[in-house]
Chains A and B, each alone.
Chain A
Amino acid sequence: MRYFFSIRGVLDERNRREINRIATNAFMFLWLYTAIANIAFIFLPQTKLPKSAFIGFAFLNLVIGWYGVSVYVSHGISKLKLNYQEVSVDDYPRAVRKAWQHGAWVGVVSGIVVYVMVANISGFISWTAIGLSLLIVLINWTMDAQREIGHIVKVK
């Protein structure tokens, strides 16, 4: 739950209650959307639909169902500041170190994904694949670490 919703702070009873509220809203929206969109699609005249309509429907589902809900959830989490981490002054260096480690993981995983994708096109020992994936590692590592550090709040 902590990783799924990108929660960095304490997951206490109040935060759990708020997350449950956000998740319930997302579920109700998805439940209604799935029912309405699929029923509407079933009743469309199938013979007159081009093949691209099916791909378009799948794409629409991704945009509304996956991306839309992801944006809604992350907006709700940000609004409640659940992605912020409050640490004491003494613990701040440790939290920053953990943020860099988190960034490293994100960078490495995205680098591997990019490497596999590019290597499929340009070959597994190509400089393009290696260079591009290393660049992605560096960019995502820095960006994620900076974002994580920005969400650390020092408390006296």
Chain B
Amino acid sequence: MNRVREYRKHAGVSQFALAEKVGVARQTINLIENDKYNPSLKLCIRLAEELGTDLNTLFWKVDDIN
């Protein structure tokens, strides 16, 4: 499970607001958060930038990093 939802809530933005910032539909953000859609690398980078973090933190498994 990725950590998009966790970082989004930490940043205090709604799915709709985040979707507007990265230029996708709200449903896409919801699907990403629920691991039902694999976003492109370009979208992953945009999400990481908007949430003020990096790709590893957002999408890499926690066990693999440790």
Q: Which residues of A does B touch, CB under 8 Å? A: 9-10, 12-15, 81, 86, 88, 155-156
Give chain B's interface residue range (CB within 8 Å of chain A): 10 to 19
B36: shortest Cβ distance to chain A, in Å? 10
Q: List 24 A-B contacts (CB under 8 A).
A: A9-B25, A10-B19, A10-B23, A10-B24, A10-B25, A12-B23, A12-B24, A12-B25, A12-B28, A13-B28, A13-B43, A14-B24, A14-B25, A14-B27, A14-B28, A14-B31, A15-B25, A15-B28, A86-B25, A86-B26, A88-B16, A155-B14, A155-B26, A156-B14
Q: Given the interface contacts A13-B40, A13-B43, does A155 sit within 8 Å of B25 by beta carbon?
A: no
Q: Which residues of B does A touch, CB under 8 Å? A: 14, 16, 19, 23-28, 31, 37, 39-40, 42-43
